Amino acid sequence: MSKLDTAPYKGVRDFYPEDMKIENYIFNTWREVAKEFNYQEYNASPLELTEIYTEKSGNEIVNEQTFTFIDRGGRSVTLRPEMTPTLARMIAAKRRSLVFPLRWYSIPNLFRYERPQKGRRREHYQLNCDLIGIDNNTEENDAEIIRIAHKIMHKFGAENKDFEVRLNYPNGSPDDLKSLIERLEKDGITNTKIDETLARGQAYYTGIVFEIFDTDAKNPRAIAGGGRYDNLLEIFGVESIPMVGFGMGDVTIRDFLEAHKLGPYA
């Protein structure tokens, strides 16, 4: 009788106690900052009907990067590759009883069938922070989301020189970005950079997009990213609600902490 392999499935991780110590440090830091900004935690099942992703997530994610299968009832089901469509579904389902604005966060595990490499796994955990239902000051709402991501980086011990906030506004004028940057500078966020090549992979973004990017030449990659997606609820046949948010993965932030000798790696 052949022996079973003790290695985990390709692209996923086992968490031994020493690994959980680092993972919990990351999760606790995320939660601490999210609560400082009065965000409330939510969650959902990692299983979703596949159709929730076919409309807005983008063909590459749906056709090439998902774990999708047919369940025993003949339904196409997908392990969630991202949290935003699930959030939109939850908002659409109870929109009449919810009191807006909403400030919600979650730390879901996500699954993408892609080639494992540095900074990428087939399963990871990700902080999602979203501001929902405020439309009276778009710039201030965008700035709030960026402030949260920026504050998290500082809470981990990073300085402005260790990372930069890359910004783009594919549907607006350069003046929109300059105005947002001036707004961020009032909060001490001076490590910003306009990147006209920046475009998030999801197809649902409608306004500002941004990434937190590591400035270390040994780890040049995005650590977090997000933007504005005002029209996502339309796929559920309900009226749109302004939404802006970002995600930050545990794999990339762990690499960042190790590269910069911060937190558990200090």
Domain ranges of the chain: 17-265
* pLDDT, position 202: 57
Query: For the structural domain made of 17-265, what CATH number should be given?
Result: 3.30.930.10
Tokens of 151: 């504050």
Whether the per-residue pLDDT at 57 is higher than 90: the answer is no
More confident residue, 54 or 159: 159
* pLDDT, position 173: 66
Does residue 67 contact residue 113 with C-beta atoms inside 8 Å? yes
| Residue 9, phi then psi, degrees to nearest 5 | -55, 145
Question: Any residues with CB less than 8 A from the CB of 262 and at least 6 apart, and which?
Answer: 156, 157, 158, 256
Q: Tell me the pTM.
A: 0.92
Query: How remote is the C-alpha of 101 from its chain's centroid?
Result: 20
- Per-residue pLDDT averaged across 121-144, rounded? 91
